[in-house]
Structure 1
Amino acid sequence: MSESNTITRPEFLAYQADVDGQFDGVRKGISDLKEMVRKLATTRAVVNGGLTILGSALGSGIVTALHSLAH
């Protein structure tokens, strides 16, 4: 058997093509995620997220206060 790194057997070539195809799919998925995060990382999105968290905390506090008044 040769010490070369060249793969010539058909089953190995098919396996390598399959692995390369899977890596291409993973790379595409990562690229899509990076693009989505880039679109979401705007000042408006950050402000809206902060307001959502603040509103949730205030709502929770109001519900807790009303619940404690009822008991």
Structure 2
Amino acid sequence: MQVHPAIHEVIEAGGGVDVRPLAKAAGVAPATLYRAINRGEVEAIKIGKRVTVPAHVARKLLKLPEAPAVVKAA
């Protein structure tokens, strides 16, 4: 699946993705994604009126490979 570079960049940085661009990238209507969020099927974070989907959830929705694990030095 081809993901818009701006969305891919946000996901790689570990940030949240807004519902509308994520829905477009996933090929579904924003209302469909909002309903899934309201039913608890998709994890999301609401800050004020803004709803974002965490990067790890967006990865699964877009069927992107998991991010490589980061190993911290001791």
TM-score under structure 1 normalisation?
0.22
Q: Return the structure number with greater relative CO, CA threshold 8 A, min gap 6.
A: 2
Higher radius of gyration, 1 or 2:
1
Q: TM-score, normalised by structure 2?
A: 0.22
